[in-house]
Amino acid sequence: MSKRTFLNCEKPLLVCMVQADNPARIKELIDRSLPEGAEAFGMQFCKMKEEYRNESTYRELFAYTDKPIYVTNYRRHGENANRSDEEIAAGLLELAACGATLCDVMGDFFDPCEGELTMNEEAIQKQMALIDALHARGVEVLMSSHVLKFTPAERVLEIALEHQKRGADICKIVTGAENMAQQIENLRIITLLKENLKIPFLFLTGGECHISRRLGGTLGNCMSLCVYEHDELATPSQPLLCDMKIIRDLI
């Protein structure tokens, strides 16, 4: 079997986010998503109940499919409400050791700040050490910054270059758009990133206008985050897998 990877793919991957608080629901979403064209899966372990946060559950889920698996373990989400960044980082290392393909390292790990990109040198060195440790376990690393508001192109590029500099294999930035002018600018930013970054990227927007979530893959994003259905734990702004497959394959 070929190695699972999120890198060097011919088309932007259709990544179905299977968010749930228990493994049975994750398996159910995987089973339903595969016939719809899911090419990879995203599991947010910060949302899983504490009783399932263990090595045996992780290995069972990662072995359930032969598709690449992207994992997150964000601070202040779900069961991570009272965990320190050091504890969360240890959780990422455990997920890596159990078979995850791609681990999400927040851009403000070890120094929480607005916009999720620390410039504190001590925190940056800790991030780079964590990325090295994840790579040593054979996984790929995505660095994420959830800015969550409209951000000028120059600033987005600065964030992306920092992700690249710190050793990430993939850059993920989430901004926002509240009107058509901002939405158009965000589409232009995707092209800007494509022209200036040496690593793959995922540039997403929230707010009232988030067309980049649907068209980003055709412009340069390396993947599309989508959902099988919009249940209570799904991210509302993530489009349906069935729609994204049509958009990607026909445009």
Question: Which residues does 205 contact at the CB level (< 8 Å), separation at least 6?
Answer: 174, 175, 176, 177, 183, 186, 212, 213
Least Cα distance to 47 among 26, 24, 77, 18 occurs for 77
Asked if 51 and 24 count as a contact pair (C-beta separation under 8 A), the reply is no
How much is the pTM?
0.96
pLDDT confidence of residue 32? 98
pLDDT confidence of residue 101? 98
Q: What percent of the chain has pLDDT over 90?
A: 90
pLDDT confidence of residue 2? 66
Q: How many CB atoms lie within 10 A of CB 89?
A: 23
Tokens found for residue 60: 């069972």
Average pLDDT (181-194) is: 94
The whole-angstrom separation of Cα 228 and Cα 138 is 29
Band of pLDDT at residue 207, cut at 50, 70 and 90:
confident
Give per-residue pLDDT as tens, 98-121.
999 999 999 999 999 999 999 999
